[in-house]
Amino acid sequence: MINGLLAKFRAVLIQDKGSRLTFRFPNFLSIILLSSVGVTALVWGVRELKWLQAGELSIYDRMLRSRPQEPLDGRILLVTITQEDLTREKWPLSDQTINKLLEKLESYQPRVIGLNIYRQGQKNLAANLHKQDLMIGTCLLSNIARTEIPPPPNLPIDNIGFDDVVSDNATDQILRRTLLFTDVTNTDNKCQTRFSLAFLLAMSYLEKQGIEYNFTKNEQLQIGKTIFPRLDKNAGSYQNTDAYGYQILLNYRHPNHLAKQVTLTQVLTDQVNPNWIQDRLVIVGTTAASVHPGYYTPYSSLSDQPARMPRVFIHAQIASQIISTVLDGRPLIYYWPDWAEWLWIWSCALVGAVLAWQWRHPVMLIIVESFILVGVVGIAAGLYLQAIWIPLFTPSLALVITSFAVMGYTTYQTQKQNQAILLQVEQQEEAIAQISLLLEQTTALPSQFNEFNFSEISIFKTDDLLLAGRYKILKTLASGGFGRTYLAEDTQKQGNPICVVKQLMPARRDPRFMDVARRLFNTEAQILAVVGKHPLIPELFASFEENQEFYLVQEYILGHTLSEELPPETSVKNEVFVVSMLKEVLEILAFVHDHRVIHRDIKPTNIMRSTQDNRLVLIDFGAVKLIQPRIDEATELATVAIGTRGYSPPEQFAGHPRLSSDIYALGIIGIQAITGIPPQELPVNPETGNIMWRQRTNVSDELGAILDKMVCYHFGDRYQSATAVLQDLKLLVISH
C-alpha cells in the first residue's frame, strides 16, 4: 500500500524530463496550499465563534474517562455524611454533633481536617479542638443567584476557604476547571477569604511538610518546585472563556479510585481504622443529594456513576491533584498555544487536500480518510495519555472539509476541462474534414507540390539564432516528409533543460490551406497540453507559429523506442512481456480516451522506453501530421487518413477513427511481439477481414482471445474501452 501511495504521489509531483526531476508545483501546490489554508482559516473562524467548543469538550471528557485508572490517593480520607446518616442525624447537623466528630478525628492525629459544611448561625464550631489550626472551614461567596454564607465566626480567616467552583455554564455545566483563588475580594462580603477550600487544604497539608507557595516573575503560581500555569481564556478548545481568578484545568482521578471513604456513623461509633486517619488529609462533607445535588463532571455520563459528583468529592479531587503533582510529579493537563493548534489544524487540512488529489473517487477517498482519521485520533489519544490536550474535532473537520472541497474543485475542473477538450476535439474533427478535402484535391494533382520550394525548409544548426528567441537547436533527431525533430536547449529556463522541438511544414502555403492548418495545429496543441499532464506522455511546453511553420516544444524522453525491443521471428517475446507491455500502454490510453482523444498513430516507434524508470511513454499524437504531405505511401496512409499502414484499422483508413482504433493498433503490436511477424506480412481472412495469426505461434487461449478481440476487423466487435481490456488482462494474470 505504501509503495502504491508513493507511486501515485510521484505521478502527480514528478515529471521525468531528461534528467527528469521537475516538480509540478504551480498546479499541485497552489491548489493544495490555497485550499488547506482557506479551510483552516474557515474552521478557525467558526471555532472562534464557539460553535465547535461543545464538540471538542465532549471529546475531551471522553478522553479523560478513557485514561488508565490510577490507584487511590492514600494521603486523603473522605468522611461522608450519607443519606443514611441523615436518617439518624437531623440536617443541618448541630454544632454538638460536628464537634463530636472533630474530636474523634483529632484523636487519630490527622495532618489536616477540612470541613465542607456551612450553615447560618454556627457559633461554637470546633470549640473543643486542642489544635485550632488543624481545621479548615468554609464559606460561600455571593453571586447573582444566591446570597453568601459566612464562615464560622470562631475560626480565623486564614483557616477559611470558599466553597465556590467554576462550571462551564455556557455549554453543559460540567466542571472541567478549578478556581484556586480570586484576585480581589469585596470588602462588603462576610466571606473574605481569597482561597478555595481545596487549595487551603492542599497547602496546609504541604506546609506541614515544609513546602510553601509563591509566585514567579510572570505571576505564575509555584508550589515547591512545581509551577501551576494560570489557565488562559483560550486554553485547549476553550474560546474566550471566563478565566477570572486563578484557574487551572481539573485533572480528575476516576471517582471509584479517588480516596478511602468512611461514613459519619462509622467515625462516631469507632468503626474506623486509626491508620486511615493518622497524618492524612481528612475531608468531611455530605454526599446526600437532598442537601446538595452535586456537580456535573466528565464522568457523569458513565452508567456506573451518579449524574452528579458530590461537592466534597470535587474538593478532594482538587486537593489530590495539587498534592500529587507536587509530591509525585503527576502531570498537570497541558495544552498547546494558539499557534501550535493552528499548525495542527492546518496540517490535517493539508493531508486532506493531498488525499483528495490522490484519490478522487468518493468511495476510495472515504476509505483512505477513515484510516487517516484513526491515525489522528491515535495521535490525540497518545498525547492525552501524556496529559496534553489538543483539538481533535476541529482538525478532523478541517481534514474532511478540505478533502471534499479539493475533490469538488478537481471534479469541477475536470468536467470543465473535458468540456473544453470535447470542444477542441469537435473543432479538430472539423479541421481534419476540411484539410482532408483540400488534400484530396492536391492528391489528384501531385505536380502541385512542385510549386513548393524545398529550399525554403528551415534547417537549424547549432550556431543558428535561437528559435522563438529561447530554444537553441543542438542536433537533428529525425527528418521526413516536410518536418523535422530537433533536440534543443531552453535558454530561458533555469538549468537550460533539454527539450524536443518538432518542426511541422504545411503541405501548401496558400491562405485557405494555412488557415485550416493553423486551426488544426492550435486545437492539437491545446489537446496535447491536457493529455501531456499524464506522467507517461511528454508534456507540451510551448506551441507557436513562425514563418508559416508550426512548432511544438515537448518534454525530452531519454530512452529508446519499442521497435528496438520487438523481435525477429526467431526471437519472439513471451506472454509476460506482451501482457506487461499491453497493460502499461492501456493505462495511458485509458487516460487519453477519458478525454475523448484518439492518438491515431500508435505504432512501436511512437512508444518510448524511458531510461530513467524503464516505463513506457506514449509519444507523437497523430492528428497534426495531416497538415504535412504523405511522401512514402508504403508506410504512411495517403491524404485523408492519419496513421501507419499495418497498425491502423479499416475505419481509420476511411478517415473515421474511433477510440477502439487505438486499441486495434496496440493489439497489432502485441501480435507482432509474440509472433515476430511485421503486421504488413500477417495474412487476413478474406471472409471476415480478421487477421490470422494464432497458427503462427504458441499462445495461451486466454491471451489469444484478448488479442483477437482487440484486432477485430469491425470496430463494433472490438473492446470499446482500454479499461475493459485491462480488466480482462488482470483476470488473465490472476488465472495464471
Which residues are identified as catalytic?
601
| Bridge partners, 196 (sequence order) | 162
CB atoms within 10 A of CB 462: 10
Cα separation values, 631 from 480, 521, 531, Å? 9, 20, 29
Q: Cell digits for 411?
A: 471534479
The three state secondary structure string of 291-329 is CCCCEECCCCCCCCCCCCECHHHHHHHHHHHHHHHHHHC
Taking the C-alpha atoms of residue 370 and residue 365, their distance in angstroms, rounded to an integer, is: 8
By C-alpha distance, which of 661, 735, 662 is closest to 705? Answer: 735
Strands 281-286 and 112-115: parallel
Nearest CA-CA partner of 621 in 636, 606, 634, 610: 606
CB 280 within 8 A of CB 267: no
Phi-psi region of 311 (alpha: psi -120 to 50; beta: other; left: phi over 0): alpha
How far apart, in whole angstroms, are the C-alpha atoms of residue 248 and residue 229? 7
Angle (nearest 5°) at CA 319 between 315 and 321: 115
Q: How many residues comprise the chain?
A: 736
Pairing, β 160-162 against β 498-504: unpaired
3-state secondary structure of 682: coil
Q: Give the number of C-alpha atoms closer than 13 A to the C-alpha of residue 384, restricted to the C-beta side.
A: 20
Residue 660: closest CA among 601, 728, 598, 705: 598
- CA torsion 61-62-66-72 (nearest 10°) is 30
Burial profile 570-587: b = 16 or more Cβ within 10 angstroms, e = fewer: eebbebeebbebbebbbb
Residue 364 CB: number of other CB atoms within 10 A?
12
Which of 617, 647, 429 lies closest to 527, judged by CA?
Answer: 429
What does DSSP assign to residue 89? S
